[in-house]
């Protein structure tokens, strides 16, 4: 008897920072996380963007903790006045903040490295060095996420994982979390997306067919992506189904049969896995 597959949880992303909402910086984390997940047969379920407002960050993180989802939070874990994520995570959990011993050791190690690189003595009690230890103050019970770039760690509480806003740090840290904590969930080769370009049809006309497919093949998701100015296909609908390969195939056959009955004009078929 084959083993029962591990259910795939929802995976979410929280992006923290006024600079994203103001347009000063473009978010690069969501496309990268989608890439990291897709290579492992996983998908992003949702994303939240929130500015540097503590009440909103706390509410957003409370939803994340309460969701039971795997969540990555990017940004706001530094030690400047506009960094609120560590404090808001503690508030959302109802836990105190405390200096994490392993984080303290790594931060002190980083400070020693910096002093050595600059050719100056390491002064652990210098006020700016004491202040840097705040980057290791996490909610009680947190564990660290190693930072291969500069050793200043992120942290995890449950299935919510906090990394810096800098891509050069955040991306390898997110990948470490996936590889270390969630390898049993990886589903390489267990996801398939098949669609066909439909010309000249209206979504309202196709909706009954889409509903029929979801009724008869409930594990499969149906999608409809209309475009009015595609450089190759012009006005069209990319209509398809996605899910496990053995479930996608019969659902896709039903889709093509239904489109034939409607007399739809079809273009290329697309396959993504």
pLDDT at 230: 82
Check whether 82 has a pLDDT greater than 70: yes
| Among the ranges given (5-14, 129-138, 219-228, 256-265), the one the predictor scored with the smallest mean pLDDT | 5-14
Q: Enter the tokens of residue 149.
A: 């770039």
| CATH superfamily membership of 11-185 | MoaB/Mog-like domain (3.40.980.10)
pLDDT at 7: 64
| Among the ranges given (141-145, 224-228, 257-261), the one the predictor scored with the smallest mean pLDDT | 224-228
Stronger pLDDT, 108 or 233, i.e. the higher one: 108
pTM greater than 0.95 (yes/no): no
Check whether 185 has a pLDDT greater than 80: yes
Which residue pairs from 60-67 have beta carbons closer than 8 angstroms and sit at least 24 positions apart in sequence? 60/14, 61/14, 61/85, 61/88, 61/89, 61/92, 61/160, 62/92, 64/12, 64/14, 64/92, 64/160, 65/92, 65/93, 65/157, 65/158, 65/160, 67/10, 67/12
Check whether 245 has a pLDDT greater than 90: no
CATH class of the region 192-272: alpha beta
Q: What is the pLDDT of residues 151-178, one digit of tens each?
A: 999 999 999 999 999 999 999 999 999 9
Check whether 6 has a pLDDT greater than 70: no
Check whether 23 has a pLDDT greater than 80: yes
pLDDT at 189: 60
Give start-end residues of each CATH 3.30.70.600 domain in the chain.
192-272
Give start-end residues of each CATH 3.40.980.10 domain in the chain.
11-185
pLDDT at 3: 44
Q: What is the pLDDT of residues 190-240, one digit of tens each?
A: 678 899 999 988 898 999 999 999 999 988 999 999 988 888 888 899 999
């Amino acid at each position: 008897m084959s083993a029962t597959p591990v259910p795939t949880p929802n995976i979410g992303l929280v992006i923290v920072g006024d600079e994203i909402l103001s347009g000063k910086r473009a978010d690069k984390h969501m496309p990268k996380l989608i890439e990291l997940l897709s290579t492992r047969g996983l998908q992003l379920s949702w994303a939240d963007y929130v500015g540097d407002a503590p009440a909103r960050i706390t509410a957003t993180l409370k939803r994340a903790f309460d969701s039971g989802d795997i969540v990555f939070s990017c940004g706001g874990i530094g030690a400047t006045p506009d960094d609120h994520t560590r404090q808001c995570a503690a508030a959302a959990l109802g836990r105190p903040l405390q200096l994490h011993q392993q984080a303290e050791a790594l931060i002190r190690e980083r400070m020693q490295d910096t002093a050595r690189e600059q050719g100056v003595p390491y002064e652990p009690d210098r006020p700016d060095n004491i202040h840097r230890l705040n980057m290791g103050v996490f909610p009680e019970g947190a564990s660290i996420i190693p930072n291969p770039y500069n050793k200043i760690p992120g942290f995890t509480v449950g299935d919510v994982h906090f990394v810096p806003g800098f891509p050069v740090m955040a991306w390898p840290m997110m990948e470490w979390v996936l590889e270390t904590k969630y390898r049993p969930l990886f589903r390489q080769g267990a996801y398939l997306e098949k669609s066909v370009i439909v010309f000249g049809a209206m979504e309202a006309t196709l909706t009954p067919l889409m509903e029929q497919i979801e009724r008869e093949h409930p594990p499969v998701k149906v999608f409809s992506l209309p475009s009015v100015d595609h450089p190759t296909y012009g006005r069209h609908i990319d209509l398809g189904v996605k899910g496990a390969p053995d479930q996608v195939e019969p659902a896709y056959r039903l889709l093509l049969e239904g489109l034939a009955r409607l007399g739809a004009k079809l273009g290329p078929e697309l396959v993504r896995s």
